[in-house]
Chain A
Amino acid sequence: MYSLRALRHFVLDSIGHIFQGNRYYFAWVGFLLVLIAAGAAAYLGQLRDGLIVTHMRDQVSWGFYIGNFTFLVGVAAAAIMLVIPAYVYDWEPIREITILGEVLAISALVMCLCFVMVDIGRPDRFWHIMPLVGRLNFPTSLLAWDVIVLNIYLLLNWFVVTYLLYCGYTKRHYVKAIVLPLVLFSIPMAVSIHSVTAFLFNGLAARPFWNSAILAPRFLASAFCSGPAILLVLLQILRKVTNLKIKDEAIFKVAELMAYTMGFTLFLTMAEVFKEFYSNTEHLVYTKYLWFGLQGHHTLVPYAWGSVACGLAAFLLLLIPRTRHNWVGLNIGCVLIYASVYIEKGMGLIIPGLTPDPLGEIYVYTPSATEILVAAGIFGIGFLVFTLMLKVAVPIMLGELTVTPGQPAP
């Protein structure tokens, strides 16, 4: 009976806490709500007129939405990079970061699901894809796999975070027999969400640009640098605006790991480029379109080189101890990594995979205003989920928000 009452208090206190804060907090939440409203308005237009308000067409049938989806699956997967050392090695300074990482994973997954929803032509038929009620084409369709693993991963992260926070709130130590197996299970799950997303593209023989065996390794490598890059910046902000203590040592350690994965990402990119150019088959056109342009169309060229330049600069900044241990150097490195991977997944993966189309036509795709507004709205939703979850999580981690005084101690 006690635990039910405690759970009720936990939920009520959490909700109550969301509505308390200084004016910066409310300004930030207000800004996100405006962003969400703008996205919702744009999406209503899309619902009314159809996906014709995007710049996707039969030749390039996936675009900005699926690019963002792919990038964010990577961000969600990256949470494990922080979970592995924290739990397996019981590595003290990084434990708080793990909770934050999982909150980030949840926010990223919410955004992923939103991006899928806005990309489909018939969101009203959403139930067709639900197991049991609809007709999920499992195990044949990789998209069916993706639906399953993304939802399991979302539930898993949500449960672990909620449980850990609930324990913090009730001042009890979490039961290791519950947490450890789930955290260990989340490691292969994280690898699988990004692998399955890579296989979704990888399995299409019709698209030689994606039909490469190192696509999944590339996805994982790039995710393991971009996910933590976002987190390191957020951690420093949180350190400033709350009483959360995060040791420099932990941040530098993660930054060092990011440098190695960024280096590996660049190596894999180079391996892909070498294979395409040296073998020089008819499949070279897609890689050529991305890096040098084709038949006078050069839209993607600055993105491709910009992504590599950012990645290379970030790799060096985070690899060299002097710049890594310098806050300016570290933060520039993080922003550059984020930019590099975002460009690579957003514009550099989806579009050259579909251009030229299977009959050789080049349709130059750039996202429309609707696509950008809707995407901004979805990022607004993601940041709002992240903000509200942290609003509750941080004081619990700090021991400031606990079971109401006067309640019997557990």
Chain B
Amino acid sequence: MKTATLKSRRRFLGGAAATMAGAMATLTGCGRNEVEAFLQHNFRELSKDELRQVVARLEQDAKRKYGKEVRIGTEPAQQGVVFGYALDLSRCIGCRRCAKACVKENNPSRDPQIEWIRVLQLNKDEGVDVSHADPYYNPEEVPQEGHFYMPVQCHQCRNAPCTKVCPVGATWQEPDGIVVVDYNWCIGCRYCMAACPYGARRFNWGEPAIKAEDINPVTHYLGNRPRPKGVVEKCTFCIQRTRKGLYPACVEICPTGSRKFGNLADPKSEIRYILENKRVFIFKEDLNTKPKFFYFYGV
């Protein structure tokens, strides 16, 4: 009942907004696109028609800015799928190919530089103790004697502290378990960054810059589409790939096979096998975030 009235109210506001957009464009002398962008509602409140218009406008904007045709998909979550991830700490060699492949796939700003995966170099005699972590290690060769490596990215928590604190509902968990951000609704308050115990969220401190040849044109609205300045972004398990049955870019590139990905809802999946049979470790388990990103020791 409550959602029904909310929806009808928003539909009314949405209709009013559409007529207002035209009037405001004439009055302020701004482009119609800018006014429409200003009045655009939260992704979860857009009707199919509105979403189509929004996507067309965003594709236009992206082309104008980057000089390249970008397709923005809106594929919904598949029924009966909850994505899970497991990373083998005993195999990871710290080569950072995952972090680079992620950048290539997900269109983060190159300058200022944004990377969603941070690989920590840890000391074997200290264990997983981040106070001894070095994310800026840069030796000739990896792995280094006496060290092991722990890549950290969004843990897609079931009990996500980041979505809880967002004052405007610009970030939420999708039915397939992926925590997403609506880059056109985020106000850039960065409360989610303060709330995340994994340091997984990134902010566009400046205007994102990517060369046309570096743009990945295959994108998703809730994932790797080009972002504006002043909003938060994060790993989405490559939503634009995984919702089509592909592996995330980091899984595909990993040369040691440390990265495992699959459907937690499928009892026969590899990810379920790992969780049931291997020694699994949950990072900052005491915080009760219930991640869908697990570490394990395969050997």
Contact = CB atoms under 8 A, between A and B. Distances in A.
Contact of B130 (A147, A206, A354, A358): A358
Q: How large is the interface on A (under 10, 10 to 19, 20 to 34, 35 or more residues)?
A: 35 or more
Contact of B194 (A116, A122, A147, A204): A204
Interface string A334-373: 0000000000000000000110111111000000000000
B190 interface: yes
Contacts of B197: 205-206, 358
A59 B130 CA distance: 14
A27 interface: no
Interface string A121-161: 11011101100011111001111100100000000000000
Interface in B163-180: 164-170
A208 to B, nearest CB: 10
Contact of B152 (A62, A133, A134, A359): A359
A375 interface: no
A125 to B, nearest CB: 5
A207 interface: yes
Given A128-B185, A282-B129, A282-B131, A358 B196 contact: yes
B interface SS class: loop
A134 B194 contact: no
Contact of B185 (A54, A121, A125, A126): A125
Nearest to B205: A52
A interface SS class: loop
Contact of A62 (B118, B168, B194): B194
Contacts of A204: 161, 165, 194-195
Q: Which of the listed residues B38, B135, B161, B194 has the most CB atoms from chain A within 10 Å of its own CB?
A: B194
Contacts of A203: 165
A328 B132 CA distance: 50
Contacts of B202: 58
A304 to B, nearest CB: 20
B204 A358 contact: no
Nearest to A142: B165
A11 B268 CA distance: 75
Interface string B47-88: 000000000000000000000000000000000000000000
Contact of A359 (B130, B164, B287): B130
A51 B168 contact: no
A126 B189 CA distance: 11
13 contacts: A50-B207, A58-B193, A120-B187, A120-B189, A120-B230, A121-B188, A141-B166, A143-B167, A203-B165, A282-B129, A282-B131, A360-B131, A361-B135
Interface of A: 49-52, 54, 56-59, 61-62, 116, 119-122, 124-126, 128-129, 133-137, 140-144, 147, 200-201, 203-207, 282, 285, 353-354, 356-361
Interface of B: 13, 38, 41-42, 45, 112, 118, 120, 129-133, 135, 152, 161, 164-170, 185-191, 193-199, 201-207, 228-232, 287-288
